[in-house]
Amino acid sequence: MLTLSKVFGEQNELVPFIASYKNELETVKVLHTLPAAKQQRFNELTHELLDSLDDVHDLKACAERSRSNREHGNAVYTKRSKTNESDRRESLLLACHLYTQAILQAENVHEELCLGYANRGMALQEFGLYKEAYDDCECALEYGYPQKLQHKLIMRQAHCAWQLGDVHKLSEHLSWLEQQQLNAGYVNQLEQLQQQLTKLQEQQSSEPKEELASEQVPSLLILGKNHKISAHSGIKGRHMVATQSIQSGDIIFKEQTACFVPLEPGLICQQCAASVLYAPIPCSQCHQRVVYCSRRCRQLNEQIHSYECAGYKKNLFTLLGVSHLALRMVLCYVQEWQTELVRGSSVQEKWKMLMDKARKCYDWSSASQGLLSLCMMSHLDKAASEELIYYALCANLLQVYLHKCTNFYEQLGVDAREDWDLLIAALILRCAGQLLCNGHVGDTILLRSQCHMMESKLWRAPFRLHLGQMHKFDSVALTTALNLPYLALCNHACAPSIRLHCDGRAVSCLAAKQIEADEEIFNCYTLDYRNSSCAMRQAQLQQTFKFRCKCINCTGSKPDEIFLSFNRYRCEFCAHIFVPSKQEEFKWWESESNLAIKCSKCQATQLFNWYGILRNTLEFCSEQQQRRKAYKAFEELDTWLLDYHSLKLHLAQQLIAACLTAKANGATFDDIDYKQLSRILDHLLAGVAAQHGADSMTYISHLTYLMDLAAFGKYKCSSEQLRAVRTAINYLPTDTKRIFVNYYNDFIEQRSAANGNANANANA
């Protein structure tokens, strides 16, 4: 099979060295104006690669796997307890999980899909996830659920619509059911639902109607009057300035993007970027690499996905990194840019008109996202020839893909093939160049990867965890790559003045500190000064962003002082205090290779025996004796790791997580356990706040430990700490926030109210 690197390698040989860069159009032209024989081979390679990436699955085997999961699910579902509520719930969740597997494995076999959805809908409804259950019934119908049984699904949908208070859908389904020949049991259900409909109608006619939010969301949702974009040309370029003093924690702006891609398949919805919590709805055409949180989202994404489905099926996009987001940019904004492109008579003229538009100045806070994106900076002109050719080959591949595998060109309504091939490839290349220095990666809190959402021990009810399960949401993952052209107007500093919080496609930009009027507002493009040395940052800034940072943290007399304070060791031989000398040595415990860390004074290689001892006990935290050993080993770290040493924080996190996991699996804790864990947690939270900030996702993920310990009633929270927890929860994306808020209200608020902390209720 051909691989991307092999094809790009051979194509690279055919392309001449690009000595001087003119623009994106001229660069892709090079790939289109090779000598005839070379050109032919070049084009063949692109087509051969696209053909060879076809990933054909054995549908019969898929159907069998799907069926076996569904049958397993059915067995669990049928045997569920009718008397013991918690056993029944566990069986329901397990059945849901198996049905989801059945749906994911069914590929595009409709018989399996429709049964998988129908059965999952049944289990979801019983668990109380009515929205998801409703959608599953709809999917089952879509994939051809047998006609003579359809009344079962419609009845279920009517029931869900009633639970959701959806009068319109409820009456629609009831009138359909009224036309059917039903047996006595169903007639009875129908009558009950008809009564519920009347009740709902009476209720809702007395309530004021809520305005439906419009589908078209502006790119800038909230725009405070606390800042402006200064358009000075010169070295600084466009930048953001505070027009009045802004308090730490205040929102500066909130930007919602039309253009993002998920970084990992299956985790988040392709349309709204929310975590797909309970019931993923996959596109059945592209090997489940694309999932949605609802049918509504699948429908809204339909057009964009029609251009990408074939690519997902070939698994083309993961190979291409930033160029995938560049393709998405073109798909999202090309109609807006087309106005210029159709006016010019030649390719050059078309391109020039668009670039003229990109160079002008606009009122940035009211400009459309397509326009803001068009005007973003790019440093392709400073890139080395091979880097430039690599991105040009990616753009070429994607353009040929669009032409060969999708109806993008027809939808765009353009002909004159060669012109548009050049223009589309040039646009993809341009977007890639812009994203290299302006793209943003969004993080979120997820369930740790060893668990799955339908794990039977997790939930007491939808969005309500069991006591002691909060710590399982302790992992922070990068989930999205987003185009945020308004945010991109901020310049870089190594101590940013803002903090970003993602909620699906929207990013809130908050002041990370007090910002004075007329002060410039800075983002940080790399790791900040607390988490990287000046040399590390400068290397990255130079390579990716093509500039040298001159912020106060880079030009001061001791630029690395704070970073190094998280990395100070005491030598095991001469007691000298030292920091590692090489970059790769800083987080040696994360690296695969065996690095020898040497004392800077006596040059002795450190043994780090204490590390092995503590690591070994982590696996056995279910045993009290081993936990005692671990607490002791942790205490002794103070001798070798100074202050809030990164490694000590890492081990504290590992130890607490291991103990809470052991407890969730049935280990019994005594007061010594709680006392020790509380002490270790205090150190961890204080350290993470110092290193990452108390409004960072890392900090919030560690608060899950505090929430569990507090919920057990074994961690003494001050009212100040509780307030901090509530504030932090507010930074979470809507879907995850719901889980945290419920946990807080169910287990912590009650305790703290009993302890005299009134008004501690968190808001959903």
Instruction: Give yes or no for a contact between 69 and 98, defined as CB atoms under 8 angstroms apart.
Output: yes
Closest approach, Cβ 426 to Zn ion, in A, equals 27
Residue 576 binds to Zn ion (criterion: CB under 5 A): yes
Spatial separation of the C-alpha atoms in residues 601 and 96, rounded to whole Å: 60
Residue 170 binds to Zn ion (criterion: CB under 5 A): no
Per-residue buried b or exposed e for 445-462, using 16+ beta carbons within 10 Å of the residue's own CB: bbbbeeeebbbbbbbeeb
Residue 96 binds to Zn ion (criterion: CB under 5 A): no
Among 62, 98, 263, 297, binds Zn ion (CB under 5 A): 297
Matching residue, tokens 């109607």:
209
Closest approach, Cβ 570 to Zn ion, in A, equals 9
Distances (CA, A) of 45 to 56, 327, 393, 408, 428: 21, 20, 11, 22, 20
Phi, psi of 335 (to 5 degrees): -60, -35
Instruction: Give yes or no for a contact between 330 and 432, defined as CB atoms under 8 angstroms apart.
Output: no
Spatial separation of the C-alpha atoms in residues 392 and 408, rounded to whole Å: 20
Q: Mutual orientation of helices 36-52 and 385-405 as an angle, nearest 10°? A: 60
Residue 283 binds to Zn ion (criterion: CB under 5 A): yes
Residue 272 binds to Zn ion (criterion: CB under 5 A): yes
- DSSP H helices in 693-749: 697-711, 719-730, 734-743
Residue 685 binds to Zn ion (criterion: CB under 5 A): no
Spatial separation of the C-alpha atoms in residues 401 and 265, rounded to whole Å: 20
Q: Using alpha carbons, select from 173, 117, 176 the residue that is nearest to residue 142.
A: 117
Residue 153 binds to Zn ion (criterion: CB under 5 A): no
Terminal CA-to-CA distance of the chain, rounded, Å?
52
Residue 269 binds to Zn ion (criterion: CB under 5 A): yes
Q: Which long-range contacts (CB under 8 A, 24 or more apart) does 696-699 make?
A: 696/499, 697/443, 697/444, 697/445, 697/476, 697/501, 697/731, 698/476, 699/728
Spatial separation of the C-alpha atoms in residues 350 and 730, rounded to whole Å: 47
Q: Which is nearer to Zn ion, 66 or 284 (CB)?
A: 284
Residue 279 binds to Zn ion (criterion: CB under 5 A): no
Among 133, 437, 551, 732, binds Zn ion (CB under 5 A): 551
Choose one: 309-317, 393-401, 415-423, 729-737; the region binding Zn ion (CB under 5 A): 309-317
Among 571, 633, 649, 703, binds Zn ion (CB under 5 A): 571
Calculate Rg over the CA atoms of the chain: 29
Instruction: Give yes or no for a contact between 565 and 645, defined as CB atoms under 8 angstroms apart.
Output: no
Structure tokens at 362: 């606009």
Residue 267 binds to Zn ion (criterion: CB under 5 A): no
Among 45, 63, 494, 652, binds Zn ion (CB under 5 A): 494
Q: Which is nearer to Zn ion, 549 or 630 (CB)?
A: 549
Q: Which of residues 227-246 bind Zn ion (CB under 5 A)?
A: none
Residue 113 binds to Zn ion (criterion: CB under 5 A): no
Matching residue, tokens 């309970």:
278
Instruction: Give yes or no for a contact between 534 and 254, defined as CB atoms under 8 angstroms apart.
Output: no
Q: Which is nearer to Zn ion, 276 or 711 (CB)?
A: 276
Residue 554 binds to Zn ion (criterion: CB under 5 A): yes
Q: Which is nearer to Zn ion, 494 or 710 (CB)?
A: 494
Choose one: 206-214, 281-289, 561-569, 675-683; the region binding Zn ion (CB under 5 A): 281-289
Among 7, 242, 286, 722, binds Zn ion (CB under 5 A): 286
Q: Which is nearer to Zn ion, 123 or 549 (CB)?
A: 549
Spatial separation of the C-alpha atoms in residues 490 and 513, rounded to whole Å: 16
Among 445, 481, 549, 655, binds Zn ion (CB under 5 A): 549
Spatial separation of the C-alpha atoms in residues 259 and 329, rounded to whole Å: 6
Spatial separation of the C-alpha atoms in residues 5 and 9, rounded to whole Å: 6
Choose one: 411-419, 593-601, 665-673, 742-750; the region binding Zn ion (CB under 5 A): 593-601
Q: Which is nearer to Zn ion, 174 or 272 (CB)?
A: 272
Choose one: 78-86, 168-176, 304-312, 743-751; the region binding Zn ion (CB under 5 A): 304-312
User: How big is the site for Zn ion, counted in residues (CB under 5 A)?
Assistant: 21
Choose one: 156-164, 282-290, 435-443, 479-487; the region binding Zn ion (CB under 5 A): 282-290
Among 11, 196, 256, 271, binds Zn ion (CB under 5 A): 271
Among 129, 153, 277, 309, binds Zn ion (CB under 5 A): 309
Burial zone of 523 (CB within 10 Å; 0-12 exposed, 13-18 middle, 19+ buried): buried
Residue 104 binds to Zn ion (criterion: CB under 5 A): no
Closest approach, Cβ 133 to Zn ion, in A, equals 17
Choose one: 23-31, 151-159, 303-311, 403-411; the region binding Zn ion (CB under 5 A): 303-311
Closest approach, Cβ 495 to Zn ion, in A, equals 8
Choose one: 336-344, 416-424, 594-602, 715-723; the region binding Zn ion (CB under 5 A): 594-602
Residue 36 zone, left/alpha/beta (φ > 0; ψ -120 to 50; rest)? alpha
Q: Which is nearer to Zn ion, 286 or 641 (CB)?
A: 286
Spatial separation of the C-alpha atoms in residues 188 and 159, rounded to whole Å: 13
Q: Which of residues 595-624 bind Zn ion (CB under 5 A)?
A: 599, 601-602
Residues that bind Zn ion (CB under 5 A): 269, 271-272, 283, 285-286, 293, 297, 309, 494, 549, 551, 553-554, 571, 573-574, 576, 599, 601-602
